[in-house]
Each structure stands twice: as C-alpha cells, then as structure tokens.
Structure 1
Amino acid sequence: MTLRSVYFVPILISALILTDIGISAIEEGDSFTLLFGSERLLENLLHEVTSIKDSLIAESQRSLNTLLEDNRNIRNIVMTTKRDLMRQNQETRMRMEKFISDELETHKIRQQGIDLETIEHAMKSQRDWFTKEIQLFEGKLLNKIQDNQQLRNAQQNMNEKTQYEKLETQIKEFAEQLKQTTASFEQAHNEIKHSFNQSNEILTECLSKTENPNDFSYQDFLPNATAEVVKVNSKPLGKRSASCDEAINSNTVEKNGGVYALEITERSLTMPAYCLPDPNKGKAWLVIQRRIDETLSFDLEWNEYKNGFGNLNGNFFIGLEAIHKMMLPNKNTELWIQLGISTGESPYEFYKDFVISAGNKTYKLMSVHGAEGTAGDELTSLTGQVFIHKYIHTILWKTCAKRLLAGWWYPGDGISCGTGNLNRNFEDITWGDWNHIIYTHMAIRHTDKPVKVVIQ
C-alpha cells in the first residue's frame, strides 16, 4: 500500500503539467508550442534577456568611461606636479649657483683656485725636469768614475794619481752640490704644497659655509634643562681631552653640546668646560660666558670674575684667569658672540682674533679684530681697555661698573658705557641695534696662525 502511494504522486504531477501544456498546444495549434510552451512566453523571456544584456552593457560602458576619465585626471595631475617640481628645482639650482658664484667672487676664491692649479702644474713640471736632470747627472757621474778607474789602472805614475784625486774631489763637490740643490728643491716644494693645502682648506671652508650659510637658531645651543649642576670651579670628572674639538669628536653629542673635562697642557690648565659643535661644521667651541635667564646675578665681586662662577649647564662666566690662560702663543683665538631675541632672531658676530692679557691683574683687551656677522661689532672699539668691576679704585667705578652692576671692558672716557655689555642686568642687555635679548653666549676656539713664507 505504501509503495503504490510513492509512485502515484509524481505520476499525478506529470499528468497535470502535460495537461496544461496540452491545453496551450490545443489553443495555439502547433507542435512547437507543445514542446516549448507558448510563443508569447518565449518572446517575453527573450525581451527580458535582451533588456538585461543592454543594461549590463550600458553599466559597463559607464564604468569604463568613469575609469578613463579618472585616469586622464590623474595623468594631468602627475604631469602638472612634475612640471612644477622641475621648475622649482631649476629655480632652486639657479639661485644656489648664483649664490655660490657670488660667494666665490666675493672671497676671490675662483681665481685663487685657478692660480693654485697653475702653481701645482708648474711645480710638477719642474719636479719632473729636475728628476730627469738628477738621473742624467748620476749617469754622467757613474761614467766619470768608471773612466777614471780605467785611467788609474792604465797609468801608475804620480801625476796620474794626482789627477785622480783632483777628479775625486770634484766629484764629491758635485755630489754635495747635488745634495744641497735637492734639499732646496724639496723645501720649496713642501712650502708650495703647504700653501696649496692651506688655500684648499680656505676654499673648502668657504664652500661649506656657502652650502650651509649660518642657518641656525640660538635655541640649538640651549643646554639640557634636566642636566645636573656643574660648578665652574668644580673638579673635572671623566676622561680628559686636550680641547673641545677633541672631546666632541671622540663622543656622540647633540647640537646643543655638553660639559667635558679638559686638560690644556700648554697652560697646565685642568677644568670642566661646556663645549659646542660648530654650526658650520668647523672646529668645536668652548663657551666662556652664557646667560639663559635672570636667575643668576652678575653683580659680583672681583674674585668671582677672576676665578669664574655659575653652573656650566646654565648661567656662568668661566673666569678671566682661565680665559687668559687659554690665549696660546702659537695659536689664534677666535671669538663667537651669539644672541637670542625674544622675537626668534639669532644674530651673531665672529671675531678672527681675540686676546686678553693679565698685566697687573687688569685683564686688558689687547686685541679683537676681524668682526663678521649679523649682530654688529661692539668690541673692536674697546681694544686696549681693562676689565672694570665695581670694586676697582678708579673713576670708572663711580660710573659704568657701578651703574650697570657688572664687570666689563668699559670705554676709557668713564662716561659712555657702551651697548655691548653682556654681563649687565639680563633684562637690560643690548648689543648694537638689538634688544629684548633672552640668550647670550661667548665662545672661543683655537686656530693655526697663518704661515709666512719667506722668499729668498
């Protein structure tokens, strides 16, 4: 009974479907409809398929057009950007070339470089010629010796012996002259080479400054606010270096520098010092005075100014005695004045030679010249003045030192106190046309003195 029910259901469904198709076939009256359904139904299906196909094609075309338009826009942006970058690069290169050309023209380095090339070429030619002459002379000398030996073997009389000895004396004299000439040539060659190398150093320094024309801010030199207090007169700790340049080159430092232990053997001076890298990548600097705020008064007595005071990681003055001892007789001492203005400017002034003496403990400003920078020259006019403090027994004590409450190299008239005092009350410091000064430092470094070549 169950098996019959299973077969009966699909048979009944098939009969109903065939009955529906058969009715349609009777209505349409052909065998095609009997097999595939009514023609109207097929047309509707074909119309729907065509409509769907057209919609898909249209949508694809719209998407393609959108992609093409986006691609054109991107290409236009890229080409425009490329043109702008090329134009900017060209303008920048032209400005840099003009600036370098102006700098080289100003310092007359271009012509100097050509002259040095000519000198080196001429020197090489002379050296080659002289070497050939020496070789020829040595050959002739050897031939003379051989000929003389043959002559001596062939003749045995006294006259021949005398000639041989005379010839031997001449040969020795020629050899000595050759030796002296060679030494003179080598000395001249070394002097020219030294001059050439020195000129190359000047050229390199000029070009380095041209590539990086004092592009710095006083904020680069501010000390680390969290650094420990290191008193000026404290005992130096750690490995000692002969100079700030040596200390910085042997350690990894930030551009704002740090405190190092120095031992300047030429002056038997052992001390801690704050060293700064040079902003133009030259030799490092030793800071001798710095003020970053008004927390430390510079209205102090003579012993403080003489021996130094303050915190090397803050406000300090390294001391007149230490500065004087660092005036090395075989070196030039350069001075760097750096200012920081509340509006953000960073004017500076470099001096190529700075010397103070200690005659009668006056610490006179013996020499200061070669001023160059953007702050203005406020020291050259003070050459020859002694360092005045408020306890010195002169008329100046009643004027500048007492009125400004600070030691400095004041003008000798006792009336005009000048505008270049970096030790006066911090909020009242002025330098040239600059005021509202919120940072100052004075720093020194040693450079080789120019070599004087004596031409005989």
Structure 2
Amino acid sequence: MALMDAQNTRIEALLQKTKQQQYKLDKQSLQIKSLQSKVNLLIPFHLKDNKTQSPKWRINLKKSFSHANQSQNASMESAQTQRLPVDCQQLFLEGERSSGLFQIQPPGAQPFKVHCDMTAEGAWTVIQRRVDGSVDFDQLWEAYKNGFGDLNGDFWLGLEKIYSIVQNRRYNLLIELEDWEGEKQLIQFLFSLGEENTAYTLSLLGPVSGELENAVGDFRQLPFSTRDQDHDLKADTNCAKHLSGGWWFSSCGHANLNGKYFRSIPRQRHERKQGIFWKTWKGRLDQSYFLWSTDAGLMSSLSPCTEARKRTSELHLEPIATALRCLECLGAQNALDAPWGKRPILPLQPKSSDWDILA
C-alpha cells in the first residue's frame, strides 16, 4: 500500500509538471501567432511604400524576431541554471522525490551541499546524523561553525550553514533518536537560531510535538558551546569539556546528541557521562540510555500554499504556475506537523486563503 501511495504521488507530480509545461508551450504559441499577425499587417504597407526596394527586408525582419526569441530563451535558461534552491523543501516543491546529496544556496550565502531526506509529503534538510561512530564529534568551535564529517554518514552540517538556511523564514527542527534495541522516538519544535555573535543561540518558539519530552530547554535561549568556547549556563563547569562534543548546553545534564559514540557500555561512570543521551527518554546514567543513531533536520514551517507562493514568486513564475504548485502541495499540509516516517496522509480541505492566488 505504501508503495502504491508513493507511485501515485509521483504520477500526480509528473501530471502537474506536464500541465505546467503545456501551459508554457501554449503561451509561447500565442506569442508567436501574435508576432506573425503583426508582421502580416506590416508587409502590405511596407510593399506599397517600397515597391522598388529589395525583398531582403523580409529576411532581416525574420532574423530579428528569431534572434530576439533566442536571446530571451537563453537568458531565461541561464537564470534557471544559475538559481539554486534555498533548502531541500524547495527541491521537493520543484518535483524532486529522491533522497540524497544536493547543492543549495540560501540567500546571501555561498552554495554548499546538504543531505535531503525526501518523503512522500515533504523534504527535510538534515543538519546532523550519527549512525556508526565513524566521525569524532569532540571538535573545537571552528569545526562546529563550518561543519565536519561525511554527508553520506556521520556529520555535522555547520552552525553557519544552519543559520544561513533559517535566518529568512521560520523552520521546524525535527530530532529522531533510536536506541540499540531499534526503538525510535521523535520530537519537533519551531525554533530560531542567532548568528555567531550570539554564539548561535537556540530559541524554542513554538509548541513541542512528538513522543519525546523536551530536553533542550524550556523555551529559553541557549548559546552553543564547545570545549574551547564555553557559553553554557553552568557558571562553574565547562559542559562541553566535561561531557564531550559541542551542544546547546544548559546545565550539562539534559541532552547531548554530539557526545561520544559508544559501541559498548563503558565501565567508568565519568566515561558514561560523555555518551550520546537524551535524559527525558532513557535517563542520564542508566546503562540503557545510550543511543545508536540520531538525526536532526529542518523544514520550513510555512503552509504548503504559502510556501508555493513564496517559492514561485522567487522564481518569477506566472500565477497559474503558482496555482499548480499550490495544488500539488496541498496534500503536504500534514507533513509540516509530523516527523519522518509517521506523517499521515489525510484528505485535506484547502483554506480560502490558499485560493487567493487564483483570483
């Protein structure tokens, strides 16, 4: 059933793209016919006033129209090839359905690669992943700022890149955790991130959803800390040095998804403190609390139609194209409020505001 739903979604996406292409072709055909009509109107007058002149003017006129049309098409194609998506959700809205590595370019930033997790209803821009312990996360500030690891495996995208993505619109942060027994838990919340001069302060802005209880902070502002830049809220302790890895620490004991990746349970208590943990789920020092994998990703918190209007405006598309994108995205409404693999596909009645683009 899931496979059929996915196939139906792909078919719907292809149909919508076909409609858009047909609309563009029809519009170009009308423009060509209009130009031909103007040329036909000019020919009799030109012949009447220039009976003795060479008919080369016809060839020159046709060449002019052809050259103008080619130049316009070339400039449009050039603009399209140069414009990169701002995040994975834009790729989804443009029809991409395969997870993997893609190049994006948030406004004001240089292009960089990200891992996009595509689902049937939306796309997440992955900012952190721990799956096999192949990368040492006990890094200094510059590494956490710029990013490190392998985008196909364990990695940290980089605080500056994360900030460049989220600074221009609101985003949901999704965290998915899995223990060594294969049990998964998720949490999602609306958040904002400050720039470097605020130590990339994390602020929770909206209600928390998901099975996990919040272990980041009770809607407080938490600066990011590493062992060489201590910004945590515990005055007498450097939490990053004490626990290992960089994180938005409050008082050291609630969560650290960038701690050491243990393949077996350490015997010493002080070593166990340095592992990956989420206190509200598995406790703090119990032997069962160690996590096997973590994922953290971003998705715009705008409604699908609002997102479609914004994206198509940025791409300078016609209103009908915006409408088609909106219709394509209406089924993704629930995706913005549900995590990976658990998004229900429900019948959706569009809001009246969603149809404003058709007016």
How does the TM-score come out when normalised to structure 2? 0.52
Residue-by-residue CA offset, 1:339-370 (whole Å, 9 max, x unaligned): 1121121111111x111101525111133431
Instruction: State the secondary structure of the residue aligned to 2:281.
Output: coil
% same residue: 27
| Contact 1:239/1:261, CA 8 A, preserved across alignment | no
Q: Is residue 424 from structure 1 mapped to residue 259 from structure 2 by the alignment?
A: yes
Instruction: State the secondary structure of the residue aligned to 1:442.
Output: strand
1:28-39 matches, within 5 Å, as: none
The residue aligned with 1:387 is 224
The alignment covers a number of residue pairs equal to 204
Q: Is residue 261 from structure 1 mapped to residue 103 from structure 2 by the alignment?
A: yes
Could you tell me how far apart the structure 1 residues matched to 2:121 and 2:214 are?
22
| Contact 2:225/2:246, CA 8 A, preserved across alignment | yes
Instruction: State the secondary structure of the residue aligned to 2:184.
Output: coil
Q: Is residue 317 from structure 1 mapped to residue 156 from structure 2 by the alignment?
A: yes
The residue aligned with 2:301 is 447
Could you tell me how far apart the structure 2 residues matched to 1:321 and 1:277 are?
23
Deviation >6 Å, runs of 4+? none
Q: Is residue 405 from structure 1 mapped to residue 259 from structure 2 by the alignment?
A: no
Instruction: State the secondary structure of the residue aligned to 2:142.
Output: helix
Could you tell me how far apart the structure 1 residues matched to 2:258 and 2:219 are?
15
Amino acid of the structure 1 residue aligned with 2:155: F
| Contact 2:87/2:165, CA 8 A, preserved across alignment | no
The residue aligned with 1:349 is 187
Q: Is residue 272 from structure 1 mapped to residue 113 from structure 2 by the alignment?
A: yes
How does the TM-score come out when normalised to structure 1? 0.41
Q: 1:238 to 1:298 in 2, by over 3 A?
A: farther
The residue aligned with 2:209 is 372
Following superposition, the deviation at residue 282 of structure 1 comes to 2.9
Which has the greater radius of gyration?
1
Instruction: State the secondary structure of the residue aligned to 1:380.
Output: coil
The residue aligned with 1:245 is 89
Could you tell me how far apart the structure 1 residues matched to 2:82 and 2:134 are?
29
Amino acid of the structure 2 residue aligned with 1:242: V
Query: Quick check: which one's helix share is greater?
Result: 1
The alignment's C-alpha RMSD in Å is 2.8
Residue-by-residue CA offset, 1:398-454 (whole Å, 9 max, x unaligned): 43111111111111xxxx312321011123212122323111011001132799x9x
Aligned pair partner of 2:146 in 269, 294, 307? 307
Following superposition, the deviation at residue 287 of structure 1 comes to 0.3
Amino acid of the structure 2 residue aligned with 1:308: G
Q: 1:397 to 1:260 in 2, by over 3 A?
A: farther
Following superposition, the deviation at residue 268 of structure 1 comes to 3.0
Higher relative contact order (CA 8 A, sep 6+): 2
Could you tell me how far apart the structure 1 residues matched to 2:151 and 2:248 are?
23
Following superposition, the deviation at residue 301 of structure 1 comes to 0.9
Amino acid of the structure 1 residue aligned with 2:129: R
Q: Which runs of 5 or more structure 2 residues have no equivalent in the other structure?
A: 1-80, 263-274, 283-288, 307-350, 354-359
| Contact 2:230/2:239, CA 8 A, preserved across alignment | no
